[in-house]
Structure 1
Amino acid sequence: MDIRKRTLLAAAALLAAGVAFTGVATAQQKPVVIYTAHISAIVDKLIPAFEKETGLKAEVVKLGSGDVAKRAKAEAGKPAADVIWSISGSVLTELAPILEPYAPKDFDKINKNLVGSPAWTPYTSVVYVLAVNTSMTPLKDAPKSWADLADSKWKGQIASARADNSGSALQQMQGVLTIFGDDGWNKYNQIAKNFVLTDSSGAVSRYVADGETSLGLTLEDNALQYVSGGAPVSIVHLTDGTVLSPDGVALVKGGPNAEGGKRFLDWALSKTTQETLVKEIGRRSVRTDVNGPAGLPNLTDLKIVSLRTIADLGGQEALLTKWRTATGQ
């Protein structure tokens, strides 16, 4: 081989190495842009850990689940986010056309019963509960079932997030429609007459803890934060059906820092992160090798509801139209 050919080959190799290095450097230098419905307390605890453990920087935009979905869809032509983090699996399934399938490291450790679509990955198992302010309503007198919540004596006493802004409130509505079948809308309309609406599920537990309402439909971990903090709050797992579904994490198709986004998904599903979610935040892990939070019932002891899908119930817009009628919005 003559010296000219060797020189050209060496130059090509250096150029290729430079391109590869630049790709890695770009992922390191660019922030990972994350849209999330997580409450601020969780974001503030987890994001510093992500940045420390990976060396990446994160820019977090915190919105309700509905607004996350609307913003991501509006930006589909030119995505600004790399990751959608912690919104309901049913909403992520609706967003599948703008998501990039990616199987994180340790995907084989995830409970396969929670995997609903290749477009997104289960992140935590979300359990929906009734939070009770025991200073206002003694636990013995509190509702024990969804059917009990339809009693008109609870009018103005049940805090609930807006289903047009909160994926969790939408799933609670799916739960009622699933549990009561043909009588589902009738029962939901009765329950909804007792609602005091909040902008997010995170606000529901605060309403209950502060005594603005005596009851609230919320996420188990949100209520547990107030229980652990000493507020007069107890948790009721409703006897006619405990709604459980995964929320998810997903890579946005065409995001500005795809490699950084993949690193975030790997980190979010790692055993260390999942153990932190359980021990410090009270969420239930999606990993088969991580136990649930202390002091809460085993899922095997609860009557778990397998939700009918949004599509099976007529689609999201049709559901929200009926929700607006039920709540007078």
Structure 2
Amino acid sequence: MNARPFPRRPLARALAAAVVVIISVAGCGGSPTASNKQADSGPTAAEKLYAEIGALSGKERRDKLVQLAEKEGTLDLYTSMTSDVADAVEAAFTDEFKVDVNVYRAGSETVLQRILQEHGASFQGNDVVETNANELFALNTEKLLATYTGKQRDAVPEAGRFDGWTATRFNLFAPSWNTKLVPAGQQPKTWEELADPKWDGKLSLEVGDYDWYLTLYGYWKQQGKSDQEIDKIFTGMAKGAKIAKGHTVQGELLSAGQFSVVASNYSYIVERAKAKGAPVDYLPFVQPVIARPNGFGLMKNAKHPAAAMLFADWLLEEGQKVLIENGLTPAIAPDNDPLKGVQIIPIDVKTLIEHGDEWSKKYNAVVAGGEKVESK
């Protein structure tokens, strides 16, 4: 049977909701403009430290940061990493440095709302945030993130360097399949093949993947396809599609054989399941691979700016290995880069933020006729 669409909350609405809370807090005596006034009067103490350390490099920079960070003794980190990755990152960092890490972990939208609410109450709860591109773009738009410079940032590809924030990892959208249901050589080899009638009732789409949708749509437009041609392809994908909420759940259902192919799951989720013996695969990649950067931003009013900057440097150096060990795609490619030669298209974050509601509605119309599936 056809299911009702999943309720979704595009980033623009999430940001608006947080602003309402900020106004409410201000009405109770808080000052939502306090931080902005401080920024208007000149650099914050944290920004001055970032600039001072940013002029250093190599051992001198690391030694100075370690000295100052261990004197501060604490790092307050807000992140939307999965709990296992967050635990691994925290453990590796605290093993190396005498800095206690307080981690607040939640979904990216919740992390964004918490920071905006605390900002509205003139309370600085975190020193650094590591989350999705959408939320980082919004935080930078609100002028809450500081400039970060250094050779570590310079090593990140251009697709991962943004005003106010820097990518630490990429989530790669890739078709994946159940190898018991899709024999070798029968898997989709192009994005267009996902619209083939042979996948009717056997293909799954994820309810919130409008960032993937708008990026692939834009890519096809650049390749000369008309709107009508593109709409026909997505309509073909959605015909009889199983609509899942959440990539992790979608991956579990694929492993269990609830459907044969997933249009756009994250490659690391499939890789993890594959490593545990699940009959799933995503290689060779369907190209172009669509990548959504996730990264960090240093807070302008961080209470522990040295610890924040040390964490940023570490995450782009030693921390990249930790991410790889946990199955993620690092921002800085290793020597044996598995993506060498693969065409990668980054999510257009600017379009996503400025026109997210429009694209969300379009994608919602695409998946509205599908059948809702859930983990049992």
TM-score relative to the length of structure 1: 0.75
Residue of 257, 277, 296 corresponding to 1:211: 257
Quote the residue 2:30 is aligned against. none
Give yes or no for contact 1:84–1:251 (8 Å, CA) kept in 2. Answer: yes
Q: Over residues 133-171 of structure 1, what are the superposed CA-to-partner deviations in whole Å (9 max), with x where a residue is unaligned?
A: 1112223222222212223443454444442xxxxx343
Q: Which residue number in structure 2 is paired with residue 196 of structure 1? A: 243
Q: Secondary structure at the match of 2:274?
A: helix
Aligned residue in 2 for 1:223: 270
Partner of 1:95: 139
Superposition pairs of residues 133-282 of structure 1, within 5 angstroms: 133-163=178-208, 169-181=209-221, 182-183=226-227, 184-193=230-239, 194-199=241-246, 201-216=247-262, 217-270=264-317, 272-278=318-324, 280-282=325-327
Tell me what 1:72 maps to. 115
Q: 1:33 to 1:246 in 2, by over 3 A?
A: closer
Aligned-partner SS, 1:247: strand
Distance 2:232 2:187 in 1: 22
Distance in 2 (alpha carbons) for counterparts of 1:282 and 1:109? 24
- Aligned partner (choices 278, 283, 288) of residue 328 of structure 2: 283
> Quick one: which amino acid aligns to residue 272 of structure 2?
Q
Instruction: Output the CA distance in 2 between the equivalents of 1:312 and 1:50.
Output: 33
Identity over aligned residues, as a percent? 19
Whole-angstrom distance in 2 between the partners of 1:240 and 1:126: 15
Q: CA deviation at 1:203?
A: 3.2
Amino acid at match of 2:96: E
Separation (CA, whole Å) in 1 of partners of 2:313 and 2:156: 16
The CA deviation at 1:192 is 4.0
- Aligned match of 2:41: none
Query: 1:210 Cα deviation (Å)?
Result: 2.7
Q: Partner of 2:91: helix, strand, or coil? A: helix
SS at match of 1:174: helix
What is the CA–CA distance in structure 1 between the aligned matches of 2:148 and 2:234, rounded to whole Å? 37
* Distance in 2, Cα, partners of 1:45 & 1:32: 16
Structure 2: gaps (5+ residues): 1-67, 370-376
Q: Distance in 1 between matches of 2:119 and 2:196?
A: 44
Structure 2 partner of 1:12: none
> Gaps spanning 5+ residues in structure 1: where?
1-22, 164-168
Structure 1 residues 145, 31: closer, same or farther in 2, change over 3 A?
same
CA distance in 1, matches of 2:187, 2:175: 9
Root-mean-square deviation over aligned CA pairs = 3.0
Q: CA deviation at 1:116?
A: 3.7
